[in-house]
Structure 1
Amino acid sequence: MSKKVYFLADAHLGAKTHPDSLEAEKKLCRWLDHVKEDASAIYLMGDIFDYWFEYKYVVPRGFTRLLGKLAEVTDNGVEVHFFIGNHDIWITDYLSKECGLILHLKPIITEIQGKKFFLAHGDGLGDGSRSFRFLRKLFHNKFLQKCFSGIHPRWTVPLAHAWSSDSREKGGVVGYLGEDNEYLIRYSKDKLKEIQDIDYFIYGHRHILINLPIAEHSRVVILGDWITLFSYAVFDGNSIKLENWEM
């Protein structure tokens, strides 16, 4: 059996956006059970959790089914890569030590089965919003993270979820803006001028489904989400396609 590579993003587990976050988590575990049978690697491309902050001796409550399933998958020899998003930035070593995940704090370029991939959650790449760029700098600031860690979780966790819900209600997820207006597509085209042999750009973040050719040999893939679309991408060594999980 030929091995496949899977990509999934934006589950936002724990978010009020989910009609039932626990059921979304169980559904994700069923998906992992399915894909682990023929997967050589699984790439979780950011915002798997709606909020995740690791204190020195404390991690967020919940997600026990998913964390246990991820440990099971990696224990069975399948690589699971975890990219931080803009909601689950604050990761140290818990997921790598306890669950065996390979953590990525920045975009990477890597070769997969003879093809070159640019992999990133997608936040901060070509987005022209000044307010978003400002917030992103605050969230990535190590000094501010250390200050935040000094506040008791009973205050920080509700605050984080309230901010996430409020920002989503005010801004929402905007649908496909067209090839010329999608900043991740523009960013990919610019990156392709710099590194001309990238075959696939894979992103989350935008919560839309795109599998778009931008050059004769290069495509941009945006993975949708695990909130309403329950979508993912699969690469079989020859081509990549987007699919939806119904079970």
Structure 2
Amino acid sequence: MTGTANRSVERAFRIVDELAENGGGRVSELADRLEMPVSTVHNYLQALVETGYVTVEDKEYSTTTRFLEVGHRQRHRLEVFQAVSDELQDIAAETGEHVTLLVEESDQCVIVAVQEGPDAVNLFAYPGARMPLHAAAPGKAILAHMPEDRVQGIIDRQGLVEMTNRTITDPDALFEQLAEIREQGYAIDEGERIAGMVCISAPVLDKSDEIRGAICVCGPQSRIDEKRRDEIADIVKRSANVTQVNLDYV
């Protein structure tokens, strides 16, 4: 692909990201925010409208559900999503909390599926939502089962961004905790990504011990005391094991 084509694709996705981030926008607004000529933005938007990925009404442009269709197709291709079966629903019923399945993609932790128990706090979590690997229990569960040089590469590219005052931002401290996670079989974050929330996650490995994702339960700190943390850790480890077994049959 030529440099011009690369720039064209990059510009198109910058416009799409801006529309998604702000819920839509007019040509002049997008041009100002993206620091592009109005005519350039208009041409890209027209092309995106023709493909069906963007729609326009009263000169207001917004993304369409075509992206949702693409995402759902890709999600159903993921073996770990197929293998998790009814596990998330069972965990949500058993714990009453917020349950997710996450995978690593492009150095980030991505939510693949969400199930809310009857007592779940609304975390505005949805399939496709992304977060730093180092700042979330599922991300740390995934990192703990990657080769050390790959983890270091992610740190070099992404950094260790501080999400709250409890986020691990020191590489040595992170590597030390990853070793503990491998030993105990689950990861925990206490307000490292969202203040006041406790998240407990177990890695999903395949028969070759390759990391495929992580199952996570999140709830308010006031509800998840030390005893309950142990109970939830047992639940997510059990479900991760069931999912691992199911992977053999996908």
- Structure number with the bigger relative contact order (C-alpha 8 A, sep ≥ 6) is 1
Higher relative helix content: 2
The TM tier, using the shorter chain, reads: under 0.3
**Higher CA-based Rg:** 2
- The normalised TM-score by structure 1 is 0.27
